Structure 1
């Protein structure tokens, strides 16, 4: 794309575009859920229907034992779509969005939305143990990138629109607009201020409202009141959230490593992508059918929301079975995504957190029956802590789960656990489930946002005033930084005397004059660097009039000086 045709739009225009993105993302989230429902009902029930409540266990398939082949057949179609139309659709989606922002100038191919929707819907609908949130984020981000290209916005604004799309996807699928906003703030936005957060917020709120109309305004999970009127156990529960957060922080590392271990393991199998995925999905199908025969439900197939719902209503409470589900979900997710499936890891993280939290809570009640604590509190807290540990988005995790529970009293143990889980995982493992994939490709993602001090440092504060004005017939002295060569009251060239390595006076005409740019006082360090780059110069005059009049020049600055200043600014941030 020709950058000269790109336009930096006003905040008002960006907000209008954000409204459109919010509407489209809400509609696409709804359509994606319908597509999953159609495929799931066809594969498991043998009927065409758009009615599918993921929070209710799927009944026994009409195929009987042959249901183990449903993910295999679906997987063959998924591999075909990904290999032939959009390789970016493979995997869990969010890393590709981050890569587009930080390494691809906000460009996501337009076909990614369609291929990702189809591939992920087939993977999840035929029993793949992945979530729909990652795909919705990538679908909405790809759509936003396309809208940004249509509007011909600048690269930075295109990246902002991608964040709008991602937040919209989260807001619509979870009915959690605040969580959607925080997701972009913590993971996607390159800079954070009112001009960037406002469009994201507008897009998320619009998308959530569209979701209310098309999907419903109920929270993602039904959770009974955790405390009710009795909040006396709040301190005890918050204290217990500390060891729970520590356990989940350590387990989040196990889950992250398991994902990439599975990918590496399947890559080593000396067969083509189709056979590789057939092996993984056949093992998956056999696994969830065996679980059905033994326990009456498939439990680990699909998004796993029904199992999460069971932990949140304490239907599942036996520690041994909870421990089994924990191991089974890690294995099922690894088989699905490691062999080449398409879907998100957000839902598996919620699943594992809910199960591990429920396990912790039920052990507490068994060991201390007089404590009177509700195990469901720990299941809810575990969901947030696991998302925090795996994604490096603790605030997003806390607020999304809070928006699910709608119980303010739960926020204290949740915040405690997410903080501990994130801090512990971050101490032992720098990368998270998203950035580790990019780091393995050699694509680094900033770990934090810092203030752009370069936009507040002005060059007249740092420019050298140790200059001398000379004509070409004069001799120059070595005790100055720069010599401005003048002719008729105008500066026609600049000599960097330090770079000339003078140890005595020499004729000015024997020195090489350098071309320069002219900058006004008040120009920021960031703007000066851009001017140097644009005009291919490495010396600038600082002039009150904005031209090369000798009387208006107040200083000189070189590109080397700017580099030194950047080093000083960077050092202050360490």
Structure 2
């Protein structure tokens, strides 16, 4: 990765970006980097998939998540062993590496300019793999988002992109990871906007779409096509009143389960001060009980959903499985096991949809259709991501007939969760519990989307001893400021002041005249009263430079640009720019 990072630096993306800010070259740069991000996202997710499932498949010799096919002692042993290993790992790791998952990605995006440490992503990768291989009730998606976002952040850092570019590549990583895990390119893009950024950002969409498509292609060619279940035998959908009544019943079930899922986690977050070993021991006990009495609740696969569609699950065991899966997943995630929630919510919603369908006449309600609608509704209600949920189901099943009833259920479920339970997305609720905002203000967003170029002033860089001829050339320059270096300090003077001093030669020789290399020169330090000025590296956005002004109280700063050049940024000019654009 170091060699790759060095190669990226050689392209001087930030210099080209600054020089071509009014052209479409920045979009081309982002498209290239988005392609690279999608490629590596797909490869990383394929590797993640292999790390989780290859060892498990040798043990089970059947479906990836068929934990019920194992002897009871194996099921209990795997869950206890995985919790014990995770407890040991987290006890040995420093606390800064314990932060993982989607809430951590949003926090780093809003408060740390999208800078995601690689160490946390490594911990997320292997800890999630251990939990999934052990049959814990978690999903792959949260870890995938964290890993993909870190990849995008790393590429942006090595390419030295401004803040707008960092956020774009972070979105590319998230979309690529989700797309590779589910092989749903459009849902991956919508997930990045609805769940990570909490808004649709048109300026990001082309590179993010490109990353998503490339990641899907890589996943499809390495892992193979992913099929949740076959829909070949599904009958056509008739939009009758009975259908929408059944949909309303499904809404009631989904809202209840979503409320249980969220409230259970919120109650368990209060136990975060307990020792890691104790919290993970509670997860081990709960998972072991499920492993003994209801092994279908283990893992993150869709085997139980497939069994429902083939008629292998009876109604009473199905209802129990839905409730146990909901509580077990909330318990596992709420007590700190690093895993995802999207997969389990899909399963819970799909099983709930199937259960509701069984309550009605099979000639009116098709179980497979209602399983699809339940999957979309449960995800949408828990994560407040209605479009992502709908599109994910359409892409995974390659069918659009479900759109109308699915939208009916999704909209009502999301609406009821907000109006009656006052619940936001589980990720927003988690951030709120941590005392962290899930979003930034419109003013901050505006600052982050602009580089310093609109407020930067050109300067003339001169040596401290400068030939008189070169000083006189300043008369034809349109630049207002001159900078020079005196020992270790940078000095700033106005160009007109330098020219005024030159005119004093008409009055005779001056003390600031020196002979250097057989040329009559001016010593700028002796000739002018200059002010010292701080030099900083080029900031990633206007937000960074405004924060610097507020912290230091200074009114001007000299910015070092690529290519050994400089520009001047003043607080006055920055305020003027913001006021002018605010009026517009």
Query: Normalized against structure 2, the TM-score is what?
Result: 0.70
Offset, 1:225: 4.2
2:333 corresponds to 1:325: no
Match of 1:278 among 269, 278, 281: 281
Instruction: Return 246-255 or 5-14, whichever deviates more.
Output: 5-14
Stretch moving more, 81-90 or 161-170: 81-90
Partner of 2:415 in structure 1? 423
In structure 1, the residue matched to 2:42 is 26
In structure 1, C-alpha distance between the alignment counterparts of 2:301 and 2:98, rounded to whole Å: 20
- What is residue 364 of structure 1 aligned with on the other side? 360
Change (3 A) 1:325 1:224: farther
Give the direction of change, closer, same or farther, for the CA distance of 1:260–1:194 in structure 2 (3 Å limit).
closer
Equivalent in 225, 240, 261 of residue 217 of structure 1: 225
Do residues 177 (structure 1) and 185 (structure 2) align? yes
Tell me, yes or no, if structure 1 residue 58 matches structure 2 residue 67. Answer: yes
Comparing 444-453 and 197-206, the one that deviates more: 444-453
> Residues 271-321 of structure 1, C-alpha deviation per residue, up to 9 Å, x if partnerless?
x32243123213312322222xxxxxx201110421122234444351x22
Deviations 1:76-98 (A, max 9, x none): 22233344447577587111111
The gaps in structure 1 that reach 5 residues or longer are 46-50, 292-297, 457-486, 489-525, 539-555, 570-574
Contact 1:39 1:122 (C-alpha < 8 Å) held by counterparts: no
Cα distance, 1:68 vs structure 2: 1.3
Pairing 1:9-88 to 2, within 5 Å after superposition: 9=17, 10-41=26-57, 44-45=59-60, 53-54=63-64, 57-58=66-67, 60-61=69-70, 64-65=72-73, 67-85=75-93
Q: In structure 2, what is the Cα distance between the partners aligned to 1:421 and 1:190?
A: 18
SS of residue in 2 equivalent to 1:435: helix
Unaligned runs of 5+ in 2: 1-11, 18-25, 451-495, 498-541, 557-571
The offset of 1:32, in angstroms, is 0.8
Q: Which residue of 1 aligns with 2:104?
A: 96
1:465-480 map, 5 Å:
none
Correspondence for 1:255 among 236, 252, 261? 261
Calculate the aligned-residue CA RMSD, in Å. Answer: 3.7
Task: Report if aligned partners of 1:264, 1:338 keep a CA contact under 8 Å in 2.
Answer: no
Deviation at 1:101, TM superposition (A): 1.1
Q: Conserved in 2, the CA contact under 8 Å of 1:25 and 1:168?
A: yes
The 8 Å contact of residues 82 and 88 in structure 1, kept in 2 or not, is answered as no
| SS of equivalent residue, structure 1 residue 327 | helix
The corresponding residue for 1:402 is: 394
| C-alpha distance in structure 2 between counterparts of 1:227 and 1:288, whole Å | 36
Whole-Å separation in 2 of the counterparts to 1:73 and 1:531:
48
In structure 2, distance between residues paired with 1:354 and 1:205: 26
- Between the aligned partners of 1:246 and 1:128, the Cα distance in structure 2 is 28
Deviations 1:103-137 (A, max 9, x none): 22111111223221110010011111101111111
Label 1:561 to 1:134 Cα distance change in 2 as closer, same or farther (>3 A). Answer: closer
1:125-524 pair list within 5 angstroms: 125-189=133-197, 192-228=200-236, 231-233=237-239, 236-265=242-271, 267=272, 272-291=275-294, 298-318=295-315, 320-365=316-361, 372-427=364-419, 428-446=421-439
Distance 1:448 1:251 in 2: 33
Distance 2:289 2:28 in 1: 54
**Cα distance between partner residues in 1 of 2:173 and 2:574:** 41
Tell me, in whole angstroms, the C-alpha distance in 1 between the residues paired with 2:45 and 2:278. Answer: 31
| C-alpha displacement of 1:238 | 4.1
TM-aligned CA deviation for residue 156 of structure 1: 2.8
Q: 2:441 & 2:356 partners in 1: Cα distance?
A: 32
How far is the alpha carbon of 1:53 from its aligned partner?
A: 3.7
Q: Does the 8 Å contact 2:290/2:298 carry over to 1?
A: no
CA distance in 1, matches of 2:227, 2:332: 27
Secondary structure of 1:434's counterpart equals helix
Whether the 8 Å contact between 2:100 and 2:121 is mirrored in structure 1 is no
Deviation at 1:533, TM superposition (A): 5.1
Return closer, same or farther for 1:453/1:154 CA change in 2, 3 Å cut-off. closer
SS of 1:188's partner is: helix
CA shift at 1:396, angstroms?
A: 0.1
Contact 1:86 1:115 in 2 (8 A): no
Distance in 1 of aligned mates of 2:104 and 2:343: 18
Call closer, same or farther: CA 1:378–1:192 in 2, change over 3 Å.
closer
